[in-house]
């Protein structure tokens, strides 16, 4: 079985500061990895995904993430955040076969302060 841990439930950060949102996963098989963002009262939007290849993945809105197999991590980073980045961020994994259903972390609420 797979599991995903997002240790930080809330992360406050000042505008234009860098941010890192942490994601660790556990799986006995290889997985795909995803970061989704959820703005208030909206569905989930894909930020980026790791399927294979380069471990540094770039996504939308200036976000990037690095896959670290040895540490089973997939942390999300942005060098300079904006007020508009205030949202909830979810890390998810899916197996490379079967139904491809997502196993989600509990989410990290990013609050960007002026």
Partner 1 sequence: GAGVSQSPSNKVTEKGKDVELRCDPISGHTALYWYRQSLGQGLEFLIYFQGNSAPDKSGLPSDRFSAERTGGSVSTLTIQRTQQEDSAVYLCASSYRGDSYEQYFGPGTRLTVT
| Residues at the interface with partner 1 (CB under 8 A) | 32, 34, 36, 41-46, 49, 51, 90, 92, 94, 97-107
Residue 53 or residue 98: which is nearer to partner 1 going by CB?
98
The answer to whether 21 touches 110, Cβ cutoff 8 Å, is yes
**Closest separation in Å from C-beta 38 to partner 1:** 9
Residue 5 or residue 72: which is nearer to partner 1 going by CB?
5
Residue 15 or residue 27: which is nearer to partner 1 going by CB?
27
**Closest separation in Å from C-beta 72 to partner 1:** 19
**Closest separation in Å from C-beta 35 to partner 1:** 12
Residue 17 or residue 96: which is nearer to partner 1 going by CB?
96
**Closest separation in Å from C-beta 90 to partner 1:** 6
Q: Report the distance separating Cα 34 and Cα 108, nearest Å.
A: 14
């Amino acid at each position: 079985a797979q599991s995903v841990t997002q240790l930080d439930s809330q992360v406050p950060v000042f505008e234009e500061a860098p941010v890192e949102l942490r994601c660790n996963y556990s799986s006995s098989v290889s997985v795909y990895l995803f970061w989704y963002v959820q703005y208030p009262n909206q569905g989930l939007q894909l930020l980026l995904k790791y399927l294979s290849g380069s471990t540094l993945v770039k996504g939308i809105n200036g976000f990037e993430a690095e896959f670290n197999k040895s540490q089973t991590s997939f942390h999300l980073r942005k060098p300079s955040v904006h007020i508009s980045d205030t949202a909830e961020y979810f890390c998810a994994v899916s197996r490379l076969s079967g139904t491809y259903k997502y196993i989600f972390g509990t989410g990290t609420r990013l609050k960007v302060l002026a």
